[in-house]
Chain A
Amino acid sequence: MPMTITEKILAAHAGLDTVKPGDLIDVKVDMALANDITAPLAIRVFDELGVKTVFDREKIALIQDHFVPNKDIASAQQTKIMTEFARLYGIKYYFDLGDSGIEHVLLPEKGIVVSGDLVIGADSHTCTYGALGAFSTGMGSTDLGVTFGTGRTWLKVPETIKFVYEGTLGHWVSGKDLILFTLGKIGVEGAVYKTMEFAGKVIRNLSMDQRFTMTNMAVEGGAKNGIIEPDDITKSYLSEHTNKQYTFFKSDPDASYEKILTINTNEIEPQVALPHSPDNVKGISELDNIKIDQVFIGSCTNGRIEDLQIAAKVLKGQKVAKGIRLIVLPSTPLVYKEALQKGIIETLLDAGAVLGPPSCGPCLGGHLGILAQGEKAVSTTNRNFIGRMGHPESEVYLASPAIAAASAILGKIGSPDDI
């Protein structure tokens, strides 16, 4: 029976020859992850299970990234629970400050998650790893706590929607614009419970960093997972980042899809998601004089080296507009170091940016850059729900690093071409 890449990975992990949408399957998990917000709950559940030890100390990843460096006493208590658990069970992939970065950037970068893996994480943006041709999905802490003990989980095989991107990419148009455009088309309920498979010539030419941005936001369409077939670009990324064995799965040419949507990218300009939903998307030329207070560049969506490179390209020799706060958080220590070596950090500092440590902080209104009442921000993150980055009456506009950097210079939402 012909299968999609997602169905093939699920079948392989369920020990079955084939699976089809709607099948309930029991699968083995290659990597189970949680962060400083979700791990303490998962650990409580693990303790309730009453098992002697974790299923495999090399298949659990615990990452401090959300409220780090600890923002207050309560969050310090949370990370302490995680640290003690990791020490007790000898968790191999436990990341404390100094080693730690944003989970969905860190794990591929360290080669811990590879193509063909089945990954679950107590974080909704776990779907990011689909860019490597892995099946990965977010769950809650109870699911994770159980998997810490059993190494398995249950899944319902999803239907797949295939998005085929054809054409060329315009000036300053990136993977972020493609995914925002797509969300604008299908809506935040457009792929609920489903797989979003990204394909077509445009995707084949996209860098790994931009592919991660696209699969990262599959959950914003309600999807279970986002996925991209691995190719030579994936192979080259893996050769630089991992010694782990990996498997390339590909969709059969006659695999069945719930639907196939072809998107002509020739007409796509840089996109912005307006408050308060990631599907409230407009082209940059449709926006008129939206004045802003803050710009944030970072997160699991757009905090990678290529993102910072683009931002620096726009900001080189420019100054952040008076009264605008530009906050940049490189997503991992390695991204930070590379940015330093490439002169990106200096460019950003010269422009007037504030550089901070790797952290999810501002994206979820946690810390390191909170919005006041009535303030507006352009952010390279993934969600702009009410109150997401601060006060319930603040506003978040989602965009690419190029648009974010340009907006910081302009003091209003705009493109590098407007400078």
Chain B
Amino acid sequence: MESISRVWKFGNDIDTDLIIPARFLNVSDQNELAKKCFIDVKPDFAGSIQNGDVIIAGSNFGCGSSREHAPWSIKAAGIKVVIAKSFARIFYRNAFNIGLPILESMDAWELFEEGDQIEVDLSAGKIMNKANGKQTMANPIPDFMMNIIQAGGLVQYIKNKDRL
């Protein structure tokens, strides 16, 4: 899977209250959640995303609450992949479960400015800056998480295993 898109940059310890403030959690409709994604820190975010854009963040992305509304709002807003130095554990698990692709890379943050064009090869983990051709490889996705992705999310993975 390949996508060409623009970069949105964020720093370290981006918490779930920043991704979607709790006052908007009274609904679970994805499209409604998408409109409120990062509303307090980047009010123009949800309205300006082009389908296929990419978030590049620092460490501990998604820390804080367990709200699955956070990865849902990012996914429904049109973000194709989140690349971070590291992820908070509940967010990491949630992202795979709902089928929001995420990649861990220590180097990507340095390679991009906000708005740069980026090319991501998800299956290979290759990340490239389209402007200058610089590239890096993300950490390989653990086999177990890859199985969940290939099944199309946790629900289908569990169904396939016929454990019900």
Give residues in A with beta carbon < 8 Å to B: 24, 37-38, 40-41, 44-45, 48-51, 66-67, 71-72, 74-75, 78, 121-124, 126, 138-143, 145-146, 149-150, 152, 154, 188-189, 192-193, 222, 224, 277, 364-366, 383, 385-388, 392
> Given that A24-B144, A189-B60 are contacting pairs, would A143 and B154 also be in contact in the complex, using a CB cutoff of 8 Å?
yes
Judge whether A138 and B26 touch: CB under 8 Å. Answer: no
Q: Known interface pairs A67-B26, A71-B26. Does A387 touch B40 (Cβ–Cβ under 8 Å)? A: yes
Which 9 A-B residue pairings sit nearest by Cβ, starting from the closest?
A140-B94, A364-B22, A140-B68, A74-B26, A142-B97, A392-B40, A75-B26, A124-B66, A138-B66
Q: A74, B27: Cβ atoms under 8 Å?
A: yes
Of the candidate stretches B11-19, B45-53, B109-117, B122-130, the one touching chain A is B11-19
Interface residues of B (CB under 8 A from A): 13, 15, 17-18, 21-23, 25-28, 40-41, 59-60, 63-69, 71, 86, 88-90, 93-94, 97-98, 144, 153-155, 158-159, 163-164
- Contact check, B158 vs A142: say whether CB atoms are below 8 A apart: no
Docked-complex contact B155 and A41, CB < 8 angstroms: no
B90 and A139 contact, CB distance less than 8 A: yes
Known contacts being A24-B144, A222-B63, A388-B17, is A142 close to B94, with CB within 8 Å?
Answer: yes
Q: Which residues of A contact B17 (CB under 8 A)?
A: 364-365, 383, 385-388
Q: Which residues does chain A contribute within 8 Å of B69, judged by CB atoms?
A: 37, 41
Chain B residues, Cβ within 8 Å of A78: 26-28
Given the interface contacts A45-B155, A140-B90, A277-B13, does A188 sit within 8 Å of B67 by beta carbon?
Answer: no
Contacts of B64 in A (CB 8 A): 124, 383, 385
Tally A-B pairs: CB < 8 A.
132
Apart from the given pairs A122-B68, A143-B94, A143-B97, 14 other A-B contacts in the complex at a CB distance below 8 Å: A41-B68, A50-B164, A78-B28, A121-B66, A140-B94, A140-B97, A146-B155, A189-B13, A189-B60, A193-B89, A365-B21, A383-B15, A383-B65, A385-B17
Q: Is the CB of A140 within 8 A of B60?
A: no
Q: Which residue of B lies closest to A156 (CB)?
A: B144
Q: Judging by beta carbons under 8 Å apart, are A222 and B88 in contact?
A: yes
Q: Are A142 and B98 in contact (CB under 8 A)?
A: yes
Which has the most chain A C-beta neighbours within 10 Å: B23, B65, B66, B144? B66
